[in-house]
Amino acid sequence: MLTNELGSANPSAHWRDYYTLTKPGVVQLLVFTAIVGMFLATPGMVPWEILVAASLGIGLAAAAGAVVNQVLDQRIDAQMARTRNRPLPQGRVTERDAVAFALGLALAGLTVLVVFVNALTAALTFLSLIGYAIVYTVFLKRATPQNIVIGGAAGAMPPVLGWIAVTNVVDPHALLLFLIIFTWTPPHFWALAIARRSDYERADIPMLPVTHGEAVTKSFVLYYTILLIIVTVLPYITGMTGVLYLFGALALGGGFLYYALQLKFAPRQDSPMTTFRYSIWYLMALFSFLLLDHYLQ
């Protein structure tokens, strides 16, 4: 029976720690966008075996990347109020066990993709895993205030992976989905970085609010929000979607712009976190409109 550090038998708490290592909220959002990519890739229904296998494989690989990220960032996490209670900084999971857990997740996910989906999806999923867990976490995060812009490419891949799982082809429309998430990532994450600026400063991470100040970061949040609204119109312009999606994209973009303008010109104490939380609901709702529009056209 597993025991926690206080010596009491509590196996459920131990497994919750492993679950926490996978950043379940992030993984769920990534898998959701991958599923939308699958459905947009076909005019009919996605074969159930592809839907299940691709969702499972992409989800396991994303979870593996999250665990590796926490292994590599555990010393930084220990210095930040937002992350200091994670299992690794608190010693509830050892580094060795976390690495083994990540390798198991990665191997299982990639095996599922190779065996039950296709090799191209597996290869690009592996590259995305390396891009996030190694390139972003080890190099970009510590090297440049534009870390989240460049590193956002890995997080933007799931809808492309979902599309390829169904078609085994990299389609230009799938790349539009990539572009949407790639453009969404900076204002989403910089809003959080403003709220947690002292944490990043203490950990010596060159996030934009630390290196260039909050005023510049708020301006960049606004600029990228405007760019995001333009990018989200492209699926309609290219004929990929219809009027329902266009209406939803513009309405949601208007909400994002409202929060970005408030953050820049009339900020309240909770404005950064309010903007951050809205950005999450924004992406979920935007991809829901993509899915609804696809089947209602």
Minimum mean pLDDT range among 63-67, 105-109, 189-193, 197-201: 197-201
Q: Could you tell me if 120 and 168 are in contact, meaning their C-beta atoms sit under 8 angstroms apart? A: yes
What's the CA gap between 146 and 139, in Å, rounded? 12
- Tell me, what's the pLDDT at 3? 38
Q: How far is the first Cα of the chain from the last one, in angstroms, to the nearest whole number?
A: 55
Reported as a single tens digit per residue, the pLDDT across 5-45 is 333 444 555 889 999 999 999 999 999 999 999 999 999 99
- Tell me, what's the pLDDT at 12? 52
Q: Could you tell me if 9 and 33 are in contact, meaning their C-beta atoms sit under 8 angstroms apart? A: no
Instruction: Dig out the tokens for 130 from the structure.
Output: 């390396």
Name residue 3's beta-bridge partners. Answer: 9
Q: Which residue has the higher pLDDT, 14 or 171?
A: 171
Minimum mean pLDDT range among 10-19, 167-176, 220-229: 10-19
pTM: 0.93
DSSP 132: I
Residue 235 has pLDDT above 70, yes or no: yes
Average pLDDT over every residue of 220-240: 98
- Tell me, what's the pLDDT at 134? 86
Q: For residue 267, give the 3-state DSSP assignment.
A: coil
Share of the chain above pLDDT 90, in %: 84
- Tell me, what's the pLDDT at 144? 86
Q: Which residue has the higher pLDDT, 6 or 227?
A: 227
What are the φ and ψ backbone dihedral angles of 22, each rounded to 5 degrees?
-85, 0
What's the CA gap between 197 and 213, in Å, rounded? 9
Residue 2 has pLDDT above 50, yes or no: no
- Tell me, what's the pLDDT at 6? 37
- Tell me, what's the pLDDT at 82? 86
What's the CA gap between 149 and 141, in Å, rounded? 10
- Tell me, what's the pLDDT at 221? 98
Reported as a single tens digit per residue, the pLDDT across 190-209 is 999 999 999 999 988 999 99
Residue 281 has pLDDT above 90, yes or no: yes
Average pLDDT over every residue of 166-184: 97
Reported as a single tens digit per residue, the pLDDT across 113-143 is 999 999 999 999 999 999 998 888 888 888 8
With bands split at pLDDT 50, 70 and 90, how would you rate the model's confidence at 168? very high
What value does the CA radius of gyration of the chain take, rounded to a whole number of Å? 20
Pick the CATH number of 9-170 from 1.10.3720.10, 3.10.200.10, 1.10.357.140, 3.10.20.30: 1.10.357.140
**Quick one: CA dihedral 54, 59, 60, 61, positive or negative?**
positive
